[in-house]
Amino acid sequence: MMLFWHSERTGRIVFFKKLSSKIYAKIYGYFTNTNYDYTVANFGIYKHKVIASVLEVNDYIKYFPLFVKFVGFHTTVIQVEHNSREDGKSSYSITALISLAFNTIISFSNKPLKLFVKFGMLISLISFISGVFTIYKYFRGEIEVLGYSSLIVSIWFLSGVIITIIGVTGIYVGKILIKLKIGQFILSTKL
């Protein structure tokens, strides 16, 4: 299959699109541990077998560039000159693009869940250290309002534990979902 790399475009709106594409590519690459090239366009020349394989991927979030990579065929990139749109405007609003980016990252990566687990553990650790410090201050007689510090520390500690448990549960559910997606794709390609 051939994908097309677009050459440089200029203009104020183009600058914003290029910048947002670059930022999205960095964020997407970070969360999915892939190298996503934002300069490669979504249009290309595909064999019927590639399109049939892409159509076999039955997923709620439809993201064509990812599906093309997912089916695993050999690709080559050809440089083309990108002309400006002659008629009409893009049907994607900024909110639709942000929604697509968010859904794609959440659907194809469990790294955000891992970050939440780390965040929950960090909250629990900070509240534990704060609790030790509160006990130290209690024995030195420096606590004026009894019960306030222990209440706040226990709320923060339990909140961190809850966030960690939800994150771990989400990772398990995500792994099951990934296995179902891959298993469904392998089964449909063998049939």
Averaged over 95-99, what is the pLDDT? 80
Tokens standing for residue 139? 């024995």
Q: What is the pLDDT of residue 162?
A: 92
pLDDT grade for 2, boundaries at 50, 70 and 90: low
120/116 Cα distance (integer angstroms) = 6
Res. 7: pLDDT tops 70: no
Report the chain's mean pLDDT, rounded to a whole number.
Answer: 77
Is the full-model pTM beyond 0.85?
no
pLDDT grade for 187, boundaries at 50, 70 and 90: very low
Q: What is the pLDDT of residue 191?
A: 46
The answer to whether residues 132 and 157 touch, using CB atoms and an 8 Å cutoff, is no
The answer to whether residues 70 and 1 touch, using CB atoms and an 8 Å cutoff, is no
Q: What is the pLDDT of residue 69?
A: 73
Res. 130: pLDDT tops 70: yes
Averaged over 107-113, what is the pLDDT? 79
Q: What is the pLDDT of residue 5?
A: 54
Q: What is the pLDDT of residue 68?
A: 75
Q: What is the pLDDT of residues 20-56, one digit of tens each?
A: 878 888 888 888 777 777 777 667 788 888 888 877 7
Q: What is the pLDDT of residue 181?
A: 65
pLDDT grade for 141, boundaries at 50, 70 and 90: confident
